[in-house]
Amino acid sequence: MSWEKTLDQYGELIEAQLKQFLDETIQNAKEYHPFIENVYNDLAEYILRKGKRLASTSTLLVYKGYTGKIDERILQVCVGIELYRHAILIHDDLVDMDKTRRGGPTLHTKFINSYNPYNERFGDGTSVFTGNIAYALATRAIMTSGFSMDALEKVLLLTFEGYRAVNESQILDLLFEFKDVTVEEWTAMAGNRASSLFQVTLLTGALLGNAPETDLDTLTNAAENMGFSFDIQDDIIDSFAPKEEYGRSPCLDISKNKKPLHVIYALNSKDPSKSQALKCLLGKQFLNFGEVDLARKLLRESGGLDAAKAVSKKHAQQAKAYINQTSLDSEVKEFFSSFITYIEDSLEWYK
C-alpha cells in the first residue's frame, strides 16, 4: 500500500474518533453559553478540514508497529495529538497574519468576519484563547485515553517539552524577520520546530507501545532528521509551488521578510548583486508576478535553492537510516521510508 493510501486509511479512523470527541465538547459548551458553543463549532470545523493527519497517523502507526494492533486507547491519544498540532497552528496563523488554512479562513479571520466585522482585536484575542483551549483539550484527550498513569506521565512530559520547544522556535522565527540570520541560527530554530513535532508524534506511539529503550533514542534521531527535511521542503514549496497546487500565493515567506534556509543561503551568495536584489524584495507585501519570478530566479542563480535541497536530502537519508535501525515492523518501516523518499523526491519538482 502506498504511503498516501496508508494515511487515508488510518486518518479516517482518527477523524471518526476526533469528530466524536469534538461533538461531545460542543454539547458541553452549549450548556455554558451560546457564543462559546459557536466558538467550539468553529474550532471543530477548522480541525476537521480535509488533511493528511500526518502527525496523529504517525503516532498510530508507530504504536501499531510495536504492538501489532490498533485500539480505542491509541485512537483517543491520536485525538490529543491532532488537537495539540492544531493548537500550534492556530497561534501560528495568527502571528503570521495568514488568512487561509486548508481552503478555509484561519480562525482569527473567521472570528473577525463572522462575529465582529473589522475588529481585529476581537478576532485575534478570541483566536489566542481558542488555541489555548485546543491545547487543554489535547491534554484531556490524552489523560482520559485509558493507558496506565506511568505511561501517560511520560507522554504528557513529552508533549509539555515539545510545546515549549515549538513556541521557542516560533519566537526565533518571528525575530528573524527583523535581523540578518546565519545558517547556524536557522538550524537551532528549526531543531525545535517540525523536528519537535515529529519527536512528539513518533515517541508518543513508541512509549505507549512499550518500544525497546534503545529504539527511543533512534526514533528521536529519525524524528529530528525528518523534521529538518520536511521543514526545508515546505519552505521551498512556499517559494516555488504555483497557487493552483498549494492553495496560497507564492513567496509569502519572502513578502513577510521571513528567512527560510534557501533564502539565507541566497542572501549569503558570493555574488553580492544577487544578494542585494533579493534583499530589496524581502518584506515587500503583495509581490507582483514579475517580482515573484525575479525572487525565484535569484534563489536559483545564487545557489540558495540547490544548497537547501542538498541539506534536506541529507536529512532525509539520515532519517530513513534511523527508521530502518528500529524494531518497528516492516509495514511501518516501509510507510516512513516511502514518505521520507517522497519529501526527498519532491524537491526536484521545484527548479
Query: Same domain for 50 and 141?
Result: yes
Give yes or no: residues 97 and 187 share one domain: no
Average pLDDT over residues 253-276: 94
Residues 197, 90: one domain?
A: no
C-alpha grid cell for residue 332? 511501518
Residues 229, 204 within the same domain = yes
Of 264, 91, 246, whose CA–CA distance to 163 is shortest?
91
Based on the domain organization, do 126 and 155 belong to the same domain? Answer: no
Q: Of 102, 119, 146, which residue is a domain's last?
A: 146
- Look up the domain containing 104 and give its range: 1-146
The proportion of the chain whose per-residue pLDDT surpasses 90, expressed as a percent, equals 90
Question: Are residue 75 and residue 176 in the same domain, yes or no?
Answer: no
Residues 111, 223 within the same domain: no
* Boundary residue ending a domain (86, 121, 146): 146
pLDDT band, very low/low/confident/very high, at 256 (cuts 50, 70, 90): very high
Distance CA 231, CA 238 (A): 11
Question: In terms of pLDDT, which residue wins out, 203 or 100?
Answer: 203
Per residue in 149-194, pLDDT (tens digit) is 999 999 999 999 999 999 999 999 999 999 999 999 999 999 999 9
Q: What is the pLDDT of residue 51?
A: 85
96, 166: one domain: no
Average pLDDT along the chain = 95
Q: Is 351 exposed, middle or buried (0-12, 13-18, 19+ CB in 10 A)?
A: exposed
Distance CA 101, CA 105 (A): 6
Inform me whether the pLDDT recorded for 219 exceeds 80.
yes
pLDDT, residue 135, reads 98
Which pLDDT score, from 0 to 100, does residue 286 have?
A: 85
Q: Do 172 and 203 share a domain, yes or no?
A: yes
Which CATH number is 110's domain given?
A: 1.10.600.10
Number of domains in the chain: 2
Do 105 and 155 share a domain, yes or no?
Answer: no
Domain boundary among 124, 146, 168: 146
* Domain co-membership, 158 together with 261: yes
Residues 234, 350 within the same domain: yes
Residue 154, pLDDT score: 97
